[in-house]
């Protein structure tokens, strides 16, 4: 076994590898960019070395700098994590040339599976089922258009060199092919440095089921069961689970055998994942093989009681696999969701900024958290905005979903907008609860998972105000000889006056002032022209119980200082911030006359010109941020007065990009 390894990654996966190494007594070496100088993986490692600037190309993609640090620090091996250099053949070979073990597959295996086109051809030779399509070398747009017609529509365009949803487009007819191809190639070039694509017949309403495989240098290859990842948005996995609610034992056995056959075709060593697309009738097809550890590997670990990072280390050190295929025994059901800094209500716009507070559920035998940030850390624009992975495990799927819902209810992220409320709705949705979701469901029915125009009711605001009042009394209670004296509670009582307190709530940028009379759980509340009588209010064990105008109600609620989070009768999440009880006015904005950058990024296309008359919602520019393309659309109809950005420009968040002429 190794004594010291370098982790060529950052964030959650770097922290994950460090934890296993600590348990095994292996010293760890971290590397970091200037943006990550104070990151968690830097703090947790035994030592940490700087490798360059904030952009991945200046740091985490610099294999030469990473190998130099490995040599200088005395690391015997490099764990690449996932993303960055984890599937880079040149880096794997450079490690070998430097006498450093690469904790991953052989370069030849990465090469064989790194190109989707080459992998499809290889799988065809080894009788692994394939979706009909084109994966040839001729990438001339006219030839690709001809192949698209031959394959038939609908079809999928996929980047040949990568995955993760980058460079993928569904094309419904020949008319839309050219534009979709150009967009997919741009995104593929940015994400992978390679514009090559493959074409596949698009399987309608498919499921995504993958198999974890493991091989060693002694010729052993096994699978560690499946993970279903059908809950996806724009080809990005949102929820992963094992076992799949779709598979029966016979189909599981056939797919597992196909996964092992795929791994044997490339003489696979280490951790890998064979991904299949599964039609509604159960027919399955090879999609791709990821030659690395997957983000969702914890659900496999939870059901099998294994540490797959430890397996990676042992295999890379030359040891045989710890278990044979017939010794793999799964128990219970595990589910993982990814907590992201993103705004689901704004087309999942990636977020950045300081995590003012990060309240996560307590880890237990049933709840696991794999994270790479803590409160006070910053989610930067340069990397994936994942905050943490939440994993639950219980005896069956129903119980695991209950665990997931409870854990999400205990989660609160303040700072960048997050997807927590979206995940809560996902975990309650019938299509998930019943195990019927397919890979396109979220994109087809996204409105079912978003708040949209919904807003908290006055009753929700009264509940929040009641919780704040109870909290005030608990912290400000003044002891007195006579507990019935008005001086025994600081409820604003004054001689000759009924006493009034003002609870000011901020919610969604709006201020609400609630006048309150009373104390001890009995109040009369006024909000504008609405009055509410509250009686018998008590707060405990995360629940506010009270009678509102005589109607008993129990409200799940969490109080975090000046912030309250509650769930309404429809289980929607609302957050209220306590504000100072004085007058407040918002500021007027010129948003309707201008289009601003929603976040820092690079302008890749300008689709309009000064003087153009445009319609509301018309695409004006395309921005690349966090490796994704974002379409920036006109906020109103009008005439363009000026455009402040050109193709290739890097712009800051809130930078004015387009101004519209004033209307007469």
Q: Across the strands, what pairs with 233?
A: 236
Mean pLDDT of 453-482: 80
Question: How confident is the model at residue 563, as a pLDDT?
Answer: 86
Q: Across the strands, what pairs with 159?
A: 197
**Closest C-alpha among 171, 163, 164, 183 to residue 133:** 171
Mean pLDDT of 412-418: 91
More confident residue, 492 or 472: 472
Mean pLDDT of 326-342: 97
Mean pLDDT of 50-72: 97
Question: How confident is the model at residue 587, as a pLDDT?
Answer: 32
Separation of alpha carbons 312 and 224, rounded Å: 14
Question: How confident is the model at residue 490, as a pLDDT?
Answer: 45
More confident residue, 654 or 644: 644
- Dihedral sign from CA coordinates of 636, 641, 646, 652: negative
Check pLDDT > 70 for residue 208. yes
Minimum mean pLDDT among 261-275, 348-362, 489-503: which range? 489-503
Rounded to the nearest 5°, which phi and psi values hold at 659?
Answer: -115, 145
The 10 Å Cβ neighbour count of residue 494 is 9
Minimum mean pLDDT among 203-207, 470-474, 590-594, 601-605: which range? 590-594
When pLDDT is cut at 50, 70 and 90, the band that residue 487 belongs to is very low
When pLDDT is cut at 50, 70 and 90, the band that residue 334 belongs to is very high
Question: How confident is the model at residue 651, as a pLDDT?
Answer: 87
What does the pLDDT look like over 234-248, one tens digit per residue? Answer: 889 999 999 999 999
Check pLDDT > 90 for residue 655. no
Question: How confident is the model at residue 542, as a pLDDT?
Answer: 86
Residue 117: CA atoms inside 13 Å, Cβ hemisphere, count? 16
DSSP characters over 414-470: ESS--SHHHHHHHHH-HHHHTT---TTHHHHSGGGGS-TT----HHHHHHHHHHHHH
Q: What is the mean pLDDT of the chain?
A: 91
Check pLDDT > 50 for residue 493. no
When pLDDT is cut at 50, 70 and 90, the band that residue 664 belongs to is low
What does the pLDDT look like over 274-321, one tens digit per residue? Answer: 999 999 999 999 999 999 999 999 999 999 999 999 999 999 999 999
Question: How confident is the model at residue 492, as a pLDDT?
Answer: 46
The 10 Å Cβ neighbour count of residue 590 is 10
Check pLDDT > 80 for residue 56. yes
Mean pLDDT of 487-506: 59
Question: How confident is the model at residue 570, as a pLDDT?
Answer: 78
Check pLDDT > 90 for residue 653. no
User: Which of the following is catalytic: 196, 292, 565, 578?
Assistant: 292
When pLDDT is cut at 50, 70 and 90, the band that residue 414 belongs to is confident
Find all residues with CB under 8 Å of 434, minimum gap 6, and list them: none
Separation of alpha carbons 78 and 127, rounded Å: 34
Question: How confident is the model at residue 477, as a pLDDT?
Answer: 56
Question: How confident is the model at residue 495, as a pLDDT?
Answer: 39
Exposure string of 10-44, with b = 16+ CB inside 10 Å and e = fewer, is bbbbbbbbbebbeeeebbbbbbbbebbeebbbbeb
Question: How confident is the model at residue 590, as a pLDDT?
Answer: 44
Question: How confident is the model at residue 572, as a pLDDT?
Answer: 84
What does the pLDDT look like over 97-137, one tens digit per residue? Answer: 999 999 999 999 999 998 877 888 899 999 999 988 998 88
What does the pLDDT look like over 554-584, one tens digit per residue? Answer: 999 988 778 899 988 878 889 998 876 543 3
Question: How confident is the model at residue 475, as a pLDDT?
Answer: 66
Mean pLDDT of 613-636: 83
Question: How confident is the model at residue 583, as a pLDDT?
Answer: 35
292 is catalytic: yes
Find all residues with CB under 8 Å of 460, minimum gap 6, and list them: 566, 568, 574
More confident residue, 469 or 487: 469
- % pLDDT > 70, the chain: 93
What does the pLDDT look like over 65-94, one tens digit per residue? Answer: 999 999 999 999 999 999 999 999 999 999
Check pLDDT > 50 for residue 591. no
**Closest C-alpha among 340, 328, 331 to residue 239:** 340
Question: How confident is the model at residue 589, as a pLDDT?
Answer: 40
Q: Which domains does the chain have, with CATH numbers?
A: 4-103 (3.40.50.20), 132-201 (3.30.1490.20), 210-449 (3.30.470.20), 458-579 (3.30.700.30), 591-660 (2.40.50.100)
Question: How confident is the model at residue 476, as a pLDDT?
Answer: 58
For residue 482, what are its two tokens? 């006579």
Question: How confident is the model at residue 310, as a pLDDT?
Answer: 99
Question: How confident is the model at residue 497, as a pLDDT?
Answer: 40
């Amino acid at each position: 076994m190794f004594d010291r390894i370098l982790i060529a990654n950052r964030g959650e996966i770097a922290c994950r590898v460090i934890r296993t190494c600590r348990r095994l007594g292996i010293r760890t070496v971290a590397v970091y960019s200037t943006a990550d100088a104070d990151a968690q993986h830097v703090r947790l490692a035994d030592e940490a070395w700087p490798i360059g600037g904030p952009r991945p190309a200046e740091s985490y993609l610099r294999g030469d700098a990473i190998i130099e640090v490995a040599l200088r620090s005395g690391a015997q091996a490099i764990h690449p994590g996932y993303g960055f250099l984890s599937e880079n053949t040149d880096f794997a070979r450079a490690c070998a040339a430097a006498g450093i073990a690469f904790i991953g597959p052989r370069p030849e295996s990465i090469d064989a599976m790194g190109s989707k086109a080459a992998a499809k051809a290889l799988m065809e030779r080894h009788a692994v089922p394939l979706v009909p399509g084109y994966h040839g070398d001729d990438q001339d747009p006219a030839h690709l258009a001809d192949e698209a017609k031959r394959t038939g529509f609908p079809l999928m365009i996929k980047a040949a060199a990568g995955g993760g949803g980058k460079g993928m487009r569904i094309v419904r007819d020949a008319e839309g092919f050219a534009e979709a191809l150009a967009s997919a190639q741009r995104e593929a070039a940015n994400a992978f440095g390679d514009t090559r694509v493959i074409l596949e017949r698009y399987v309608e309403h498919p499921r995504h089921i993958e198999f974890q495989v493991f091989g060693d240098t002694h010729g052993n290859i096994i699978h560690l069961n499946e993970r279903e990842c059908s809950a996806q948005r724009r080809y990005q996995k949102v929820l992963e689970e094992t076992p799949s609610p779709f598979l029966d034992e016979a189909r599981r056995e056939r797919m597992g055998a196909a996964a092992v056959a795929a791994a044997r075709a490339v003489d696979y060593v280490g951790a890998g994942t064979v991904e299949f697309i599964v039609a509604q009738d159960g027919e399955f097809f090879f999609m791709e093989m990821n030659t690395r550890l997957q983000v969702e590997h914890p659900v496999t670990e939870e059901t099998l009681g294994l540490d797959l990072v430890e397996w990676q280390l042992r295999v890379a050190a030359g040891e045989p696999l710890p278990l044979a295929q017939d010794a793999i025994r799964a128990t219970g059901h595990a589910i993982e969701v990814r907590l992201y800094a993103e705004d689901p209500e704004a087309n999942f716009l990636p977020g950045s900024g300081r995590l003012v507070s990060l309240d996560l559920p307590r880890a237990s035998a049933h709840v696991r958290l794999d994270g790479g940030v803590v409160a006070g850390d910053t989610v930067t624009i340069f990397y994936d905005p994942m905050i943490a992975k939440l994993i639950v495990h219980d005896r069956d799927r129903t119980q695991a979903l209950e665990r997931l819902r409870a854990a999400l209810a205990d989660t609160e992220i303040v700072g960048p907008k997050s997807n927590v409320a979206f995940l809560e709705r996902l975990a309650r949705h019938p299509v998930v609860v019943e195990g019927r979701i397919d890979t396109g469901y979220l994109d087809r029915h996204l409105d079912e998972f978003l708040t949209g125009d919904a807003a908290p009711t006055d009753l929700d605001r009264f509940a929040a105000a009641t919780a704040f009042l109870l909290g005030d009394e608990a912290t400000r209670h003044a002891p007195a000889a006579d507990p019935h004296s008005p001086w025994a509670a600081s409820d604003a009582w004054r001689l000759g006056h009924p006493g009034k307190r003002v609870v000011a709530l901020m919610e969604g940028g709006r201020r609400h002032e609630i006048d309150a009379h009373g104390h001890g759980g009995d109040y009369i509340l006024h909000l504008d022209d609405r009055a509410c009588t509250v009686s018998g209010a008590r707060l405990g064990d995360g629940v506010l119980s009270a009678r509102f105008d005589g109607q008993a109600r129990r409200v799940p609620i969490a109080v975090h200082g000046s912030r309250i989070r509650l769930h309404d009768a429809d289980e929607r999440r609302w957050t209220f911030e306590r504000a100072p009880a004085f007058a407040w006015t918002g500021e007027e904005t010129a948003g309707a006359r201008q289009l601003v950058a929603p976040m820092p990024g690079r302008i890749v296309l300008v689709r309009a010109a000064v003087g153009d008359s445009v319609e509301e919602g018309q695409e004006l520019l395309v921005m690349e941020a966090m490796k994704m393309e974002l379409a920036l659309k006109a906020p109103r109809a009008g005439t363009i007065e000026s455009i402040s950005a050109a193709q290739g420009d890097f712009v800051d968040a809130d930078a004015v990009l387009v101004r519209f002429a004033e209307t007469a």
